[in-house]
Amino acid sequence: MYSRDNIVAEFKKAYGPMAEFKPGQLEAIESALTNKRLLVVQKTGWGKSAVYFLTTKLIRRNTGKFTIIISPLLALMKNQTDSAKRLNLDVRTINSENQDEWDDIIKAVKAKQLDGLIISPERLANAEFREMLQKELSQDIGCFVVDEAHCISDWGHDFRPDYRRIIDVINLLPKNVPVIATTATANDRVVEDIKSQLGTDVVVQRGELIRDSIAIQTIHLETTEEKLAWVAKHIDELPGTGVIYCLTIRDCEMVAGWLNQKGIKAEAFYGQLEQTQKDAVIDHFMNNDIKVMVATIAFGMGYDKGDIGFVIHFQKPGNLVSYYQEIGRAGRSIPEAYAILLYGDSEDTINEHFIDSAFPTEGQMNSVIRYVTDNPGAGLYKILYGSNIKKGRLEKCLKYLEVNGDIYKSNRQYFKSAKIWAPDIAKSDRITHMRYDELDRIRDFCRTSGCYMEAVAKELDDVTAHRCGKCSNCLGHKLFDDSVTNTEISEAQDYLNNQCRVINPRKMWPSKECFGHAKIGVDHMVEPGLCLSNYGDAGWGSVVAKDKYEKKSFSPELIDAATDRLKDFVKANDIEYITYVPSLNRPKLVKDMATQLADKLDLELFDGLEKTKATVCQKELNNSYTQWENAHNSFGVLNTRAGNTLLVDDMIDSGWTFTCCGYKLRAAGNGRVYPFALANTSGRDN
């Protein structure tokens, strides 16, 4: 039915008469067209989408059937629809941004008007949609594609629980429907896991993973200020436009701010940006309007820019598979690009946190099971308020338990299933242990004397792995000088010390149950405030940590720094008074700080608040409701002042202590309240 000549003709019609298949592409298409289940493991830029879209084109022409494509990211979906247009395929997506189009798209699918439909794995969580695929449309599906198939495997670096639902759908399809799974990042263990789910008869096609266009160098720089100094010194030596990857949102903002201060156009990109902001940053990056995009892993699959000249890692990622995927953004359509890894021991704490938080704990899952059993029909927020679990972690728990069949959801309400609850903690422990082993291997990679690219390819079990001949180790010399001067480090240190951190006021209570309404009234809200540092970070953040827990008092240098930060702020906001957040554990620490600040800023100090009962630290509480409740129930008002007041504390975490204390002062008749803290401890796991 499908001759090789037909496949080649369709390929050249789409990509030009001189176009040639990449090694393995034609064979992959032929396997799919003979109704086989196929796993394609090929490097980024190889052309995996061409395989499944050419297959789609030929199946559609011969049978009239359409293709379902499972895709994990919105950006990747957009990229895939663009690729489909090159083959004149009418492929649509159902995603979070086009809900008003869903009904029309479903009608078009049922009317057999579409060549393909792209959905996220999370869409399969919708029972009505899943039933439609399995019953109404199962005979109309001509091909089933799982893109980024490593997400199926919980041994993989980017496990998505909803990918587990895919197997249930595939198993209900007619046996002659071809299934194509694709990925660039699957080692032997992940390949075997995927095969065990798709079927042992899966044809595995693996290609060479060496990226010939990328030259790698690793550079040991222990401190943040050293890394900032190196980036500013060498960024102009790197070709074109590039990406700097950071582990946290906070670091993205910090690095982008530093580069802009040095006259280098840079913008930060991360998942929590508003979509309009994301689109603007991507547009500037794609058009080479900026030199650098400073990004978390939110910038990854789906953004196809062929001329990225460099990728810098500001810290080492958690494993070499992630590293391979991230440096793979560079050098796709240019002959030479650079991958520079800046590493130190300090970032291990962040990576270890990511590992430890990857899976819900047994205690957390037990808590959720218990609450759902005792409160059938509870929604997300009721469960949140009934447990001391962070919202993001609770959502992971619910997802894990739902996909595993331990609970089920109906109309956004959760119920315990008939399945006996038995957590597989041993498996979670094995995976966690494996992730720590992977972290050890990337530590070793940073200091290896062998070929960097070969080491990465071997981590992915590429049997063709060989020396690249381009990295600093292969060449026997540095690609870029790794030294920075004391003057350059000092300048970076000054930048870190002088970053202006704003405390934005909370505008909503965590629930209408708090005061019978959700909004905090403007007359009771704290004003925007200031924070001197990020706790534990380079600069004053490390001084705060040392002073509080080792010296047990704040040094004159720290008080002077706080004074310098506050003097213009106090004047601009007509602040006359200062009060403080009291503590039963350390009754003198913050009061002494407030006393010294009052003297240096020429403000009147007054005892405005009292701590009415001992409570746990806010940082030990994990969601807004428990943090609000903890703060609201433990402070009372002693005195007020009619004028504007500076409310000081040593730390800010959730912001609820300032919010509740400020609310109570305002309600008692105080003037405007402006918060100030020495250090911000929130967002350590961004």
Instruction: State the CB neighbour count (10 A cutoff) for residue 271.
Output: 12
Say which range, 78-87, 464-473, 660-669, has the weakest mean pLDDT: 78-87
Residue 55 structure tokens: 């297959």
**Each residue's pLDDT tens digit, 402-427:** 888 899 998 889 999 999 998 877 87
Q: Which of 453, 334, 329, 285 is nearest to 44 (CA)?
A: 329
For the ranges 68-82, 150-164, 549-563, the one whose mean pLDDT is highest: 549-563
The pLDDT value given to residue 99: 85
Query: Is residue 620 pLDDT above 90, yes or no?
Result: no
Q: Per-residue pLDDT tens for 328-339?
A: 999 988 999 999
Name the band, by pLDDT with cuts 50, 70 and 90, for residue 155: low
Burial pattern 101-122, b for ≥16 Cβ within 10 A else e, equals eeeebbebbeeeebbbbbbbbb
DSSP codes of every residue in 167-183: HHHHHTS-TTS-EEEEE
Tell me the backbone φ, ψ of residue 648, rounded to 5 degrees: -110, 150
Q: How much of the chain, in percent, has pLDDT values that exceed 70? A: 97
Cβ 344 vs Cβ 221: under 8 Å: yes
The residues, any chain, with a CB within 8 Å of residue 430's CB and separated by 6 or more, are none
Q: What is the pLDDT of residue 345?
A: 85
Polymer length in residues for the chain: 686
pLDDT digits (tens, 9 = 90+) for 369-396: 999 999 999 998 889 888 888 888 898 8
**212 within 8 A of 332, measured Cβ to Cβ:** no
Q: What is the mean pLDDT of residues 518-540?
A: 88
What's the pLDDT band for 156 if we cut at 50, 70, 90? low
- Report the percentage of the chain scoring pLDDT > 90: 58
CA distance 674 to 686: 26
- Average pLDDT rounded to a whole number, residues 602-625: 87
The third-level CATH classification (topology) of the domain covering 500-680 is: Rossmann fold (3.40.50)
Q: What is the structure's pLDDT at 55?
A: 94
Tokens 């469960």 map to which residue? 383
Q: Is residue 221 over pLDDT 50?
A: yes
Residue 515 confidence (pLDDT): 67
Q: What is the mean pLDDT of the chain?
A: 90
Structure tokens at 69: 């494509």
Domains 360-423 and 500-680 share a fold: no
The dihedrals phi and psi of 611, each to the nearest 5 degrees, come to -90, 115
- For the segment 657-678, the average pLDDT, to the nearest whole number, is 96
**pLDDT value of residue 685:** 38
| Tens-digit pLDDT profile for residues 179-213 | 999 998 888 988 988 888 887 788 999 999 999 99
Phi, psi dihedral angles at 125 (to 5 degrees): -75, -20
Cβ-based neighbours of 439, under 8 Å, separated by 6 or more = 318, 319, 348, 351, 352, 355
pLDDT of 561 reads 93
**pLDDT score at 317:** 94
List CB contacts of 556: < 8 A, sequence separation 6 or more.
Answer: none
Q: Is the pLDDT of residue 471 over 70?
A: yes
DSSP string, 466-504: ---S-SHHHHTS-SS-----HHHHHHHHHHHHT--EEEP
Per the CB < 8 A criterion, the answer to whether 650 and 589 are in contact is: yes
DSSP for 225-260 reads: HHHHHHHHHHGGGS-S-EEEE-SSHHHHHHHHHHHH
User: Pick the residue with more confidence: 352 or 257?
Assistant: 257
SS3 372: helix
pLDDT in tens, 17-68: 898 999 999 999 999 998 889 999 998 888 899 999 999 999 999 999 999 9
pLDDT at 470 over 90: yes
Using alpha carbons only, give the angle 200, 201, 203 rounded to the nearest 5 degrees. Answer: 110
Topology of the domain covering 214-352+433-493: Rossmann fold (3.40.50)
Domain covering 4-206, topology: Rossmann fold (3.40.50)
pLDDT tens for 288-331 read 999 999 999 989 776 889 899 999 999 999 999 999 999 999 99
Nearest 10 degrees: Cα torsion 389, 394, 398, 404: -80
Architecture of domain 360-423: Orthogonal Bundle (1.10)
3-state DSSP of 276-331:
HHHHHHHHHHHCCCCCEEEECCCCCCCCCCCCCCEEEECCCCCCHHHHHHHHCCCC
Helix axes 486-497, 249-261, angle to 10 degrees: 120
What pLDDT digit, counting tens, does each position of 99-135 carry? 889 999 999 999 999 999 999 888 888 888 888 887 8
Q: What is the pLDDT of residues 531-580, one digit of tens each?
A: 998 887 767 888 888 888 888 899 999 999 999 999 999 999 999 999 99
Residue in the block written with tokens 């396997």? 31
Query: Which residue, chain included where needed, has tokens 């060989």?
Result: 466
> Measured between alpha carbons, how far is 402 from 20 in angstroms, rounded to an integer?
46
Provide the strand spans (E) within 407-485: 407-410, 413-416
Q: Which residue has the tokens 């803290």?
A: 677
Q: Is 622 helix (H, G, I), strand (E, B) or coil?
A: coil
Residue 452's pLDDT is what?
Answer: 98
**How far apart (Å, rounded) are the C-alpha atoms in residues 415 and 394?**
15
Q: Maximum Cα–Cα distance for the chain, whole Å?
A: 89
Please report, for residues 209, 235, 311, 499, 590, the alpha-carbon distance to residue 243 in angstroms, rounded to integers and kept in the order given.
21, 11, 5, 23, 42
Domain residue limits, the chain? 4-206, 214-352+433-493, 360-423, 500-680
- Residue-wise burial string across 147-170, b where 16 or more C-beta atoms lie within 10 A, e elsewhere: bbbbbbbbbbbbbbbbbbbbbebb
Torsion of CA 448, 335, 281, 48, to 10 degrees: -90
Three-state helix/strand/coil letters over 570-594 = HHHCCEEEEEECCCCCCCCHHHHHH
Burial of 18 (0-12, 13-18, 19+ CB in 10 A): exposed
